[in-house]
Structure 1
Amino acid sequence: MILLVCLPLLLLAAHTAANALLLRRPRRDAATGERVAVLLPLRDEAARVAPCLRSLLAQRGVPELTVHVLDDGSTDGTADVVRAVAGDRVRLHTGAPLPAGWRGKPHACQQLADLAGEADVLVFVDADVVLAADAVAGAVDLLRGSRAGLLSPYPKIVGSGRLVQPLLQWSWLTFLPLRGMERSPRPSLAAAGGQWLVLDRSAYRRAGGHAAVRTEILEDIALARAVKRSGGRIALADGSRLATCRMYDSWRELADGYGKSLWASFGSAAGAAAVVTMLLLLYVVTPLALLPVAPGVALLAYLLGVAGRMISAGATGGRVLPDALAHPLAIVLFGFLIARSFHRRRHHRLSWRGRPV
């Protein structure tokens, strides 16, 4: 009977392994003759945009490539850095003032999409992403090969947050049936990461573009759902071999970054509480509760959680050990960050890049 307690953990670890085997990956040395527009929204990114720009300028296998950069009201000289690094090799645009009813990033992305001319494919990239030279060509090739309207290749996460950050990939590898998600028309069955998104231009238009998600904090997931609602398909991929993303350089940055959006990730406070309770019961409470009465089974429960984390890290370019050994601690920290996000929102203390959230 006690061993049955470990059955959910075993099934989840097995599901993680199955998803890892099915995970799509852009191939290297791909090429495309399609017209591709890379779209880079910037707001106060002077300190870290240069590596991203250099990687975009080094792309190969895409002869019909244009790079559009939007300076969205920066006050730190971001536009000057863009000119110094890229010169006239990118098209630098000045963003319009933020209209009522829009959030900052959807507005910036919509402007870029409108400026992309007759591009067949739109590639949205964040300033903290650095792409390998064949990343764009590989992603476009995979977009077409998967017959998706939206492809989300997750970069390799570097920088601060080695315990918490990998939970992003771990969560959808563990709980989301990848092939089922691709086949299902249900908008609720969707995931995406806004650091690097690749979209068929026609599918983007049918979904309403970023105008359809203008009020959303998690505009990436909302856009994936909009693509599904309009009849399109979405696909997730491991982009760790072709892209890195340095989201945060300190715990404080990570907490503030997660704080602005975690409250919106679960639909409601009750939904967030249910998810956190489930994760704590599975990966923290179960091993601890079993330890006094069945230490061997407690160890098995702990190792099953670690195994899922190891499989996820190995499949998405993360550091497998020793990080995976602290998986229960990562779950506790994640729960804390969710609670902190709701607390700060309730007290109107959330902001990002100088704008209230």
Structure 2
Amino acid sequence: MSASESKKQKTFFWSHGGPTFMYKTSKDVPGANTPYNYVEKFGHRVKSEFKPKYIAVISAHWQPRYAGPESMKKVYVASPKNLDQVIDNDEKIPNDLIYDFYNFPKYMYEEKFESYVTKGIIDKIISFSDENVTVEKTERGIDHGVWVPSKVAKLDVYDSKEDFIPFVQVSMLPNIPNGNGEDERLNENANIVDTFKAHIQTISPLIRKINEDGGLVILSGMSVHNLSIFKKVISEQKHPEFVKRFNELLRNIIEEDKKSKDNHSALRAKILDLGKENSDNIKKLFEAHSPEIDHFLPFVIGVGSISEGEYITELFNAEEYSLGWGLYQVGS
């Protein structure tokens, strides 16, 4: 079946790393070779086995700021400049790149990732708006949570331009503030449980619609993402135990879900429980994702998107310093 034919597609979560992930041997991120190899093989499967009509990525690096309750029912689709002037719905329009990383060597800001989107794909995702969510387009490039791991996956390498699988990026929702501080992106200032619930209720159904339209969805975050201590643990050559514990926690939760046969109600309850102040596991969540929860939200979206009789499967994971490199298949 060709990529242009519509068939129900799959959803995956991958850990996207930083710009150093683009290089198979990186002295900046020792040990990143193994996830590099796996993501590279995964990209081959996308092109040779899955053959989606398009790839839609939800990245941890596109989270709008909270602007009241109405902002929790609105997501955005990244649109190239001057899209309204395009007449042909199938014309491949280049995506601009956002170099949203800081204080790295100059050559990393000169890297390219060639990708395209079409007006027809953007309009189709906008048409998935319903009473739960409004989808709007906004002029924007694709951020490094999209293009860096996709470059590792060689999703910009094809025999001809006609073979390219179109790329489109969709935003997450904001974090809901808890009233304790101005910056609701911080764990201590966010209402984590309600933010989790909003992503499950609002974006997860949108993921299923994209899959049914033939779009392969990639949820791009990190299974563990604690940059606040990253440089320190590298310099001290330490591997904090919480990274492994948090990966194991997720592993146990999704394995128990396969045994429960309760249509994922216990799975969702355990994920929400991570955000409760009285939860035994809240400290692990803060340790693993401090100071922000943005890199965990794509996983939460995945938890909400699986249907009855389908499950989350861990395809690969590794712990390196204060990072976790989980890759999961979400559903069947």
Fold match (TM-score > 0.5) = no
> Which has more radius of gyration?
1
TM-score by length of 1: 0.29
TM-score by length of 2: 0.31
Structure 1 or 2: more helix by fraction:
1
User: Which of 1 and 2 has higher RCO (CA within 8 Å, sep 6+)?
Assistant: 2
